Amino acid sequence: MKRIAAAIIMLTLVLTSCIASIRVLQKSSTELIELLESAAFYAQNEDSNSLKTATDKIQTNWEKSRKQLSLFLPHSELDALSITIPTLSDFCCDEAYDEYLEACYESVHTLEHLNHSTKPRLENLF
């Protein structure tokens, strides 16, 4: 009976951690996507002051999210973002808006892909 209790506790923990991981990923990716889209808007308007503030926010947010996401996502998938996001501040300083936009959209696509690939959908199950 003790083993059954241990098994049920283990299953509960596994399910809770799975749901928690999906929630964390959804929250982090949504926040980052919103920030990246607003930064892309500032880059399109060539608003350098707002762009700098948005880029700093993206950096801070990414640093925070990366630690959480690396607990349950393959590190290679996060590496792509770890390379692209730090380049945003360089493009912002150089006022290279086209490159900034490109990096922004690339990051958004990667985040959306990560978000979709972890959802328990039929196409992900099979």
Alpha-carbon dihedral angle through residues 73, 79, 85, 87, given to the nearest 10 degrees = 180
Task: State yes or no: residue 74 binds other proteins (CB under 8 A).
Answer: yes
Q: Please, are residues 62 and 32 in contact by the beta-carbon 8 Å criterion?
A: yes
Task: State yes or no: residue 14 binds other proteins (CB under 8 A).
Answer: yes
Helix (H) or strand (E) holding 18: helix 2-44
Among residues 50, 6, 17, 25, which one has the least CA distance to residue 110? 25
Alpha-helical (H) ranges within 45-121 are 48-69, 75-93, 97-117
Instruction: For residues 37 and 31, give the distance between their C-alpha atoms in angstroms, rounded to a whole number.
Output: 10
Task: State yes or no: residue 76 binds other proteins (CB under 8 A).
Answer: yes
Task: State yes or no: residue 16 binds other proteins (CB under 8 A).
Answer: no
Smallest distance, other proteins to C-beta of residue 89, A: 24
Stretch that binds other proteins, among 16-24, 47-55, 104-112, 113-121 (CB under 8 A): 16-24
Task: State yes or no: residue 75 binds other proteins (CB under 8 A).
Answer: yes
Task: State yes or no: residue 3 binds other proteins (CB under 8 A).
Answer: yes
Considering beta carbons, is residue 2 or 122 the nearer one to other proteins? 2
Task: State yes or no: residue 72 binds other proteins (CB under 8 A).
Answer: yes
Site of interaction with other proteins (CB under 8 A): 3-4, 6-8, 10-11, 13-14, 17-18, 21, 70-76
